[in-house]
Amino acid sequence: MTPAVPGPPAPLDPALLAPLDPEQALHLLDGLTWLPADGPDRWRRVADHLAARLPDRPAPAPRDCRDAARALAAALGGPAAEGGAPAGTAALYRAKYDLIALLHPDPWFTFLNMGHCTAGPDGPDRCADPELPGTGRHGGALYDLTAAPAPLEGAAVLDVGCGRGGGTARLARTRRPRTVTGLDASPRNVAHCRRDHAAPGLSFRYGEADRLPFPDASFDAVVSVESVHCFPDPGRFLAEAARVLRPGGHLLLADEWPAADVHGPARAATAAGLRVEAVEDVTAGVLRSLERLPAEAARLLPTLDGARRDSYARFFADRVGRDSAGLYRSGRCVYLRVHARRQG
């Protein structure tokens, strides 16, 4: 059975969030995702968050942040939480990745994951593929690690939450599957994928993780790299993954997870009717990748013009190098690789 799935929504128009510019709007979305929603000073805290991240421009007023959040809630077509912030994890992440695609459109930026590196502090970086563009060397290595347990040659593979498609295209190029389908909930991401990647059997389409637009038993493997934490209901996604897998098919995941609930992915996969084969903590390798990110960025940034260079520099230094890496360095989150199979 194939679920009824609506067509893709229009990409978010950042002009709706004026007077915030697109980069401020992206940090507004971070603030709405990360900062506590209660308290009378919420919009002051959100405004302070934007000012700290973007000190090169005038700080927004709290009311501007509040009004932009209300406009965002209306644009997303969903309910608004207290104070006017948009409610719904899926809609927030869709808007966030639409804005990232708008702000950072370069074809070399095809990997959005944290990457993985097996080298020690002074050892050779054998996991980094020099053929991968931009900052994708270790992003490709994370896909290699995630997909390694499954024999994918001649298989039908689905990559859920494929982002900008670098990992999906790598699977098509290196593992020789029959088909690889990348699925993403951001219309702009899908457009970038179709623009930047082409290979026999490789395709990209819009879709939601909790309503996979495919018939039962369509795939030999379902892959998802650093996307499950963006899904509104991970358990529902896993049930959908089990539905579209053929008997014996492989589920291959890699993602961050709260350190207080390291057994959560295995429990959720089991509840979805999957047999868990392995769960591995790969946080150390992810942190090694992030430690190498400044050198990767330094190699690329001089090739960009001033405004784009500054925006990318902030993206890698703040969003990835500080905020995301801080989750793992602090011990709040771990990064897990999960392999499970559909029974029957």
Whether the per-residue pLDDT at 13 is higher than 90: the answer is no
Strand order in the sheet with 245-258: 202-206, 179-184, 156-160, 219-225, 245-258, 333-342, 274-281
| Extents of the domains making up the chain | 14-103, 106-344
- Looking at residue 285, its amino acid is G
pLDDT in tens, 26-47: 988 887 777 666 667 889 999 9
Q: How would you label 200-217 residue by residue, b for 16+ Cβ within 10 Å and e otherwise? A: eebbbebbbbbebbbeee
Mean pLDDT of the chain, nearest integer: 88
Eight-class DSSP state of 58? P
User: Can you tell me whether residue 334 is helix, strand or coil?
Assistant: strand
Supply the pLDDT for residue 82.
43
CATH architecture designation of domain 106-344: 3-Layer(aba) Sandwich (3.40)
pLDDT in tens, 263-282: 999 999 999 999 999 999 99
**Global pTM?**
0.91
Please spell the DSSP secondary structure of 210-279, one letter per residue. Answer: TB--S-TT-EEEEEEES-GGGSS-HHHHHHHHHHHEEEEEEEEEEEEEEGGGTTHHHHHHHHTTEEEEEE
pLDDT in tens, 223-242: 999 999 988 889 999 999 99
- Residue 33, both tokens: 């995702």
* Contact call for residues 20 and 47 (beta carbons, < 8 A): no
